[in-house]
Amino acid sequence: MFKKTFSHKDVGPILNKVLSGFRFDGSSPLSTQAYDFLRQKIISMELPPGIPLIETKISYELGASRTPVREALRQLASEHLIDVYPQSGNVVAPIKVELVENAIFIRSALEIANIRTLARQISAKPLLELQQNLQRQELALKEESYVQFYELDEQLHCSFFRFCGREQVWKLILSIKAHLDRARILTLPFLDTASRAFTYHQFLVSAVEKGDPDAAEDYMKRHLNPLNNILTRYEKEIAEYLDR
């Protein structure tokens, strides 16, 4: 059972650091922007499990009324990224093991089916975009910028679906894998997790470029297979963030 808590003196500095520099723009409703921003900070673990999300504090720091912030927090709660307690209010939720396991199952099935389609129909322009992404991944690894590597990883997999005209399928995957992504962020610095992912990204792009759906499927299975063991392999390192 997850029990991590933060003292009052620690909460303010963490929220100040995370919220500083954010500014609303006219690209979308304020509640959507607040939701996207807070969700990204929760997934990146910059807002760690157990930290209170104080509505008045967030509203003040973001320069918004409480209404859009309240709506954003409701959305995050609906994704189980926030737990709501009568006394404590909104608190960033721990990584829920059941949701991680469900996300692994759904993501694997959809990614494997999609990569076969992509290998049958890829063209030159999309391939160039994939290669450029790999170059940026390699640089992020050299700089040990694991959050940036994670973001480029996400962009690559999103592109696999986008080039097949399946953006909505990727959005479905995004909606169910938030807890899995938090576990991935935590484990990227350990051993060869990120470098192994990069190697399989290279294999995948190569198989797609050659128009070989069987090889692409095989590499995707191997690429995603470690996700099945992510919680057991690194349980000691990330146990304090988990809720079984």
Domain range for 68 is 8-93
CB distance 242 to 194 below 8 Å: no
**CATH number for the domain harbouring residue 41:** 1.10.10.10
What is the rounded distance in angstroms from the CA atom of residue 73 to the CA atom of residue 38? 8
Nearest C-alpha neighbor of 114 from the set 70, 71, 162: 162
Ranges 17-21, 95-99, 139-143, 212-216: which has the least confidence: 17-21
H or E segment to which residue 89 belongs: strand 89-92
- Give the model's pLDDT for residue 171: 95
Number of domains in the chain: 2
What's the mean pLDDT in 174-179? 94
Q: Please indicate, yes or no, whether residues 85 and 102 belong to a single structural domain of this protein.
A: no
Q: Please indicate, yes or no, whether residues 105 and 158 belong to a single structural domain of this protein.
A: yes
- Give the model's pLDDT for residue 192: 78
Beta bridge partner(s), residue 243: 96
Here the tokens at position 77 are: 């709660």
pTM of the model: 0.87
From 70, 93, 116, the end of a domain falls on 93
Here the tokens at position 101 are: 């396991």
Here the tokens at position 84 are: 């709501």
Specify the DSSP class assigned to residue 1. -
pLDDT at 179 over 90: yes
Indicate the pLDDT class of residue 152, thresholds 50, 70 and 90. Answer: very high
Q: What pLDDT digit, counting tens, does each position of 184-208 carry?
A: 888 888 757 889 999 999 999 999 9
What's the mean pLDDT in 235-241? 87
Q: Please indicate, yes or no, whether residues 12 and 30 belong to a single structural domain of this protein.
A: yes
What is the rounded distance in angstroms from the CA atom of residue 116 to the CA atom of residue 221? 11
- Give the model's pLDDT for residue 90: 94
- Provide CB contacts within 8 A for 229, sequence distance 6+: none
Nearest C-alpha neighbor of 234 from the set 165, 173, 167, 183: 183
What is the rounded distance in angstroms from the CA atom of residue 93 to the CA atom of residue 51? 8
